[in-house]
Amino acid sequence: MRKFNFSAGPCTLPLAVLEEAQAEFVDYHGAGMSLVEMSHRSSTYDAVHMEAMAKAKSVFGAPDDFSVVFLGGGATLQFAMIPMNLLSDGQRGAYVVTGEWASKALSDGSYHGDLYAAWDGGSEGYRRVPTAEEIVIEPNTRYLHVTSNETIGGIRFNEFPDVGVRLVGDMSSDYMTRAIPWDLFDLVYGGAQKNLGPAGVDITFIRNSVLEETNRELGAYLRYDIHASKNSMYNTPPVYAIYMVGKVLRWMESQGGLAVMESQASRKSGLVYDAIDASDGFYRSQVDRESRSHMNVVFHLPSEELDAGFLAEATRRNMSGLKGYRTVGGVRASLYNALPVEAVDALVELMADFRSANA
Amino acid sequence: MRKFNFSAGPCTLPLAVLEEAQAEFVDYHGAGMSLVEMSHRSSTYDAVHMEAMAKAKSVFGAPDDFSVVFLGGGATLQFAMIPMNLLSDGQRGAYVVTGEWASKALSDGSYHGDLYAAWDGGSEGYRRVPTAEEIVIEPNTRYLHVTSNETIGGIRFNEFPDVGVRLVGDMSSDYMTRAIPWDLFDLVYGGAQKNLGPAGVDITFIRNSVLEETNRELGAYLRYDIHASKNSMYNTPPVYAIYMVGKVLRWMESQGGLAVMESQASRKSGLVYDAIDASDGFYRSQVDRESRSHMNVVFHLPSEELDAGFLAEATRRNMSGLKGYRTVGGVRASLYNALPVEAVDALVELMADFRSANA
């Protein structure tokens, strides 16, 4: 029986996509070989690759003046590549520190450019994102980096801040789950392994006018302009991950596209937050209401024993991946695009039953 | 019908591996989900990951004082990471330039360290590798970079040069097809997509004493020491590619391991070179005999028309991927580990038939 998979990533993918990929794996559309055995310069792979790139732009609604690149190394490599590529002498990068991922983006990037924290929620326990007014932009700032959704803390920007410098957004954990105001952004990036496919590929959108000014004094793999000019085929791309991303994007289209994903995410997370809010404090969320993530709902029960009991009962009810992050504990329900609403219904039912039995 | 796939990479993989991966793709060993949907911190994926790492070391015969890391970004990212990590102030990297790949390693790396060409075969048309005596090592050289096999030119080091500084080896196109003298090396790297699996993962072996001295002033993804200390799980690894590499390594073991791969490569390439040598100049190789690649046999027919006719006949006989590289033309037969000897027999038969008909 297929599990209700609440894993924070890698995570659940559409069953129809998995079954289609399985069926065509050994002999790809009668080619006499698997897609992963073909030259990445073959016309067959080229069609798969270019379709995935085009769909990434169309599904996400990226304007024509943005390019998309598919890279290996995940969002973690992007932490270094962003300041490497975007900062010239004398320019600085500003970072909104909203949790573990934003902290990593800042500390990693600091080896490759002059960066600073424009706001840091650490003293408040990372329970919210700042307002635009709270973000302090210093002179010579080239960009403001924001982490759209913090997977571990379970907070998100409901509105992206307009502070007079363009944004760079890490959207790893809510990529293509929401429309974004492209005018505010110069660059958007993230790993595919939450909402878009298996692990192994990062997707970066970058404004074309920015590509004209990026640093050229870097090894080729570290240059956005080269990847963009070669349609992410400068070197051998991560073929299988890109192929799967293309299929997931096609599935998203078939479901109605980004707007449907966004409303489903709001609905699914709303069901869990409602269960928390209606529990008379049995289930507790540390996150400020207006910063609540639509992807990762983090909550605690009244004791660690009850946390453990809840997780054990979840396992008995065919749910997996609900254990909270190591440093946070409690429960984390990740509700990515491919998680069916039936899984959320089952979780909410568990929350009601477990509270009745233990409150 | 399954093609005889002579592609230079991505390329043919063992059919048994593909079929096994297909069978267990949607529901991995009864887990109720695909392996690519599982957390990379799950015990199930951890077992797959650690087995692939252990088998990479055991199949290749890496000594205990080497670590192995699995990374995204391919060998191209390694071109930058190697000088970034290995060179301290005042140290230089030396490069043996044997063709297109060595040239890229040198030019890319030059943005990240003080590098120089210790030998360059360009004026000779890249038809051989140098002897150790021809390689000029300058003062303060930290390492000598060699490209074990040049995929495009079809040449290889039959013996690795002992020049008094340790080697860094790009083995992308003959990885785990031959035993290497580990004492000579500090680092060996390469993409998986020729002999080891699908595209999307680079495998780097690095001497542990070197890891103690690598540069720490880099973003985490760019640091070998971090990846090694975290068993290549610092961030989300390219799960599917690593899983497939593990299966291919297991298949290699079942075939008899590295020594069998090495003798088969010698035998398979020998069959094609014999056909060239016996053709009275109808088939011409520009490569010096003692530098002949065991992986990529590059040859030309007397005219471009005959090249094209040969390739057309190959297609009719169920062979694919034989077209020479864009800048080289002619024919390139890539004979990686998973290419069955029956494919080579078919190629040799074609060579005899086509010559009889056209000489």
pLDDT at A337: 98
Give the closest-approach CA distance of A285 to chain B in angstroms: 23
Which residues of B fall within a CB distance of 8 Å from A217?
A: 111
Chain A closest CA to B2's CA: distance in Å? Answer: 4
Q: Six-digit token pair at A170?
A: 């890490």
- Give the helix/strand (H/E) hosting A141: strand A141-147
On whether the CB atoms of residues B41 and B54 are closer than 8 A, the answer is: no
Distance from CA of B211 to the nearest CA of A (A): 19
Catalytic residue among B194, B247, B268, B323: B194
Give me chain B's average pLDDT, please: 98
Q: Quick check: B76 and A11 CB within 8 A? A: no
Under the banding of pLDDT at 50, 70 and 90, the label for residue B9 is very high
Which of A15, A72, A217 is nearest residue B111 as measured by Cβ atoms?
Answer: A217
pLDDT at position A217: 98
Residue B97's φ and ψ, nearest 5 degrees, are -95, 105
- Cross-chain residue pair B37–A240, CB shorter than 8 Å: no
Find the mean pLDDT for residues B287-296.
98
Reading the block at residue B113, the tokens are: 């360290």
A40 to chain B: which residues are within 8 Å by CB?
10, 199
B219 contacts in chain A (CB < 8 Å): 76-77, 79-80, 108-109, 111-112
Chain A residues touching B220 at Cβ < 8 A = 76, 79, 104, 108
End-to-end Cα distance, chain A: 31
Average pLDDT along chain A: 98
Determine the longest span between alpha carbons in chain B, in angstroms.
63
According to the model, what pLDDT value does residue A303 have?
Answer: 97
> Which of A55, A119, A170, A323 is an active site residue?
A170
In this predicted structure, the answer to whether residue B353 has a pLDDT above a threshold of 90 is yes
Q: What residues in B contact A222, CB-CB < 8 Å? A: 77, 80
- Stretch A305-310: mean pLDDT: 98
Which of B3, B72, B221 shows the shortest C-beta gap to A200?
Answer: B72
Residues of chain B neighbouring A73 (CB-CB closer than 8 A): 71-73, 77, 221
Collect all residues of chain B within an 8 Å Cβ-Cβ radius of residue A74. Answer: 72, 221, 235-236
Q: Which of A4, A18, A35, A39 is the best mutation test for B, with the most CBs of B within 10 A?
A: A39
Question: Looking at CA atoms only, how far is residue A356 from chain B in angstroms?
Answer: 29
Note the pLDDT tens digit of each residue in A77-93. 999 999 999 999 999 99
Q: At residue A167, does pLDDT exceed 90?
A: yes
Percentage of chain B surpassing pLDDT 90? Answer: 99
Give the gap in angstroms from C-alpha B34 to the nearest C-alpha of chain A. 8
**What 8-state DSSP symbol labels residue A192?**
S
**φ, ψ for residue A121 (rounded to 5)?**
-90, 10
CA of B359 to nearest chain A CA: how many angstroms apart?
A: 31
For A262, the 3-state DSSP assignment is helix
Query: What pLDDT was estimated at residue B359?
Result: 87
CA angle B31, B26, B246 (to 5 degrees): 80
The residue among A98, A227, A97, A111 whose CA lies nearest residue A154 is: A98
Which among B55, B108, B119, B170 is annotated as catalytic?
B170
Residue contact B8–A318, C-beta within 8 A: no
Please tell me the distance from the alpha carbon of residue B52 to that of residue B197, in angstroms, as a whole number. Answer: 11
Instruction: Mark yes or no for CB contact B111/A237 under 8 Å.
Output: no
CA nearest to B186, candidates B246, B141, B238: B141
Determine whether A3 is an active site residue: no
Beta carbons of A109 and B219 less than 8 Å apart: yes
Facing A199 at nearest CB: one of B77, B199, B239: B239
- From A280's Cα to the closest Cα of chain B, the distance in A is 32
Q: Which ipTM score applies to this complex?
A: 0.98
- Assess whether A194 carries a catalytic annotation: yes
Bond from prior residue into B302 cis (ω within 30 degrees of 0): no
A251 is catalytic: no
Residue A359 is predicted with a pLDDT of: 87
CA-based nearest residue in chain A for residue B191: A236
The H or E element that residue B17 is part of is helix B15-23
CA-to-CA dists, residue A257 to A41, A65, A218, A250, A254, angstroms: 30, 21, 37, 9, 7
**Helices A100-109, A74-86: inter-axial angle, 10-degree rounding:** 50
Top residue of A24, A236, A315 to mutate, by most chain B CBs within 10 Å, is A236
Whether B2 shows a pLDDT value over 90: the answer reads: yes
> What contacts 24+ positions apart, CB below 8 Å, involve B177-185?
B177/B258, B177/B261, B177/B262, B177/B265, B177/B294, B177/B295, B177/B336, B177/B337, B178/B258, B178/B261, B178/B262, B178/B265, B178/B294, B179/B61, B179/B258, B179/B259, B179/B262, B180/B148, B182/B61, B182/B62, B182/B63, B182/B66, B184/B160, B185/B160
Identify the closest residue of chain B to A191 by CA–CA distance.
B236
Yes or no: say if B337 and B258 are a contact pair by the CB < 8 Å rule.
no
Position A159 scores a pLDDT of 97
Q: What is the mean pLDDT of residues A119-142?
A: 98
Closest CA to A247 of A49, A65, A30: A49
Q: What is the DSSP letter of B80?
A: H
Question: What pLDDT does A85 receive?
Answer: 98
What pLDDT shows up at residue B329? 95
Domains along chain A with CATH numbers: 4-12+257-358 (3.90.1150.10), 15-255 (3.40.640.10)
Query: Chain B residue with minimal CA distance to A32?
Result: B2
CB contact under 8 A, B76 and A234: yes
A-chain residues within 8 Å CB-CB of B191? 236
Residue tagged active-site, from A55, A101, A174, A268 = A101
Quickly state the pLDDT bin for A176 (edges 50, 70, 90): very high
Tell me what the mean pLDDT of segment B113-118 comes to. 98
Nearest in space to A33 (alpha carbons), one of A239, A310, A285: A239
Look at residue B262 and tell me whether its pLDDT is greater than 90.
Answer: yes
Closest alpha carbon to A2 in A13, B185, A10: A13
